[in-house]
Amino acid sequence: MDHLSTEALGHKQEAVDATEFAASDLFFRIYDESMAMVRQAADYLELEGVIERQQLSQKMGIIYACESMRLTTRLMQVSAWLLAMRAIRQGELVSDDIEARGFRLGAKEVCLGGPVRGAGLLPVRLINLLEASKRLYERVARLDQLLFEGQHELPSHKRFVAQISAIEEAFS
């Protein structure tokens, strides 16, 4: 379903269904990007990151631990959300299950919070992963909001009529 675009999902407040999103090319791109980032983070934290962490002072080691936990929390939250979308695509869940079963994107306070003071002195690779994971989390948070907040206010055809009426009123 190529008619879904980043613009339609990220900037306009169009009525978009979770099932439609889960079948879109955008879903597959974000899913692939997320899984690649999980692999990159795991490789870094298990290999190069272990060596870099050992070279840090005790204070910086604590900051490293805090920020690496923020990194893994972001990636776990995004991955869980994307797996729920994949379950919708495969017919294992329906859109209403997302809220009812707690599959909404979570841990916003941790994931969107600013870095711990001094985090700018962390190894460059960790900083790059933190920045990339935050951007990914923010994109998925916008999708989560678009797909699931206020979806029960009006049936989609009534939302469409309301949007057309608002446009007509604005131009009259």
Is residue 100 classed exposed, middle or buried when 0-12, 13-18 and 19+ CB atoms within 10 A define those classes? exposed
Phi, then psi, of 27 in degrees rounded to 5: -55, -50
Residue 150 predicted with pLDDT over 50: yes
Give the position of tokens 């979770």. 18
Lowest mean pLDDT among 17-21, 39-43, 57-61, 77-81: 17-21
> Quick check: 134 pLDDT over 60?
yes
DSSP structure string for 82-132: HHHHHHHHTTSS-HHHHHHTT-S---HHHHHSPPPTTGGGS-HHHHHHHHH
- What pTM does this model have? 0.79
The whole-angstrom separation of Cα 128 and Cα 34 is 15
pLDDT recorded at residue 2: 41
For the stretch 153-170, pLDDT in tens is: 545 555 555 666 666 666
Q: Which fold has domain 6-171?
A: Helicase, Ruva Protein; domain 3 (1.10.8)
Separation CA 87–CA 81 (nearest Å): 10
All structural domains of the chain with their residue ranges: 6-171
Using a pLDDT cut of 90, give the percent of the chain over it: 69
The answer to whether the CB of 17 falls within 8 A of the CB of 41 is no
State residue 114's pLDDT score. Answer: 86
DSSP string computed for 7-41: HHHHTS-----HHHHHTSHHHHHHHHHHHHHHHHH
Q: What is the pLDDT of residues 52-97, one digit of tens each?
A: 999 999 999 999 999 999 999 999 999 999 999 999 999 999 988 9
Mean pLDDT, the chain, integer: 86
**What was the pLDDT predicted at 100?**
87
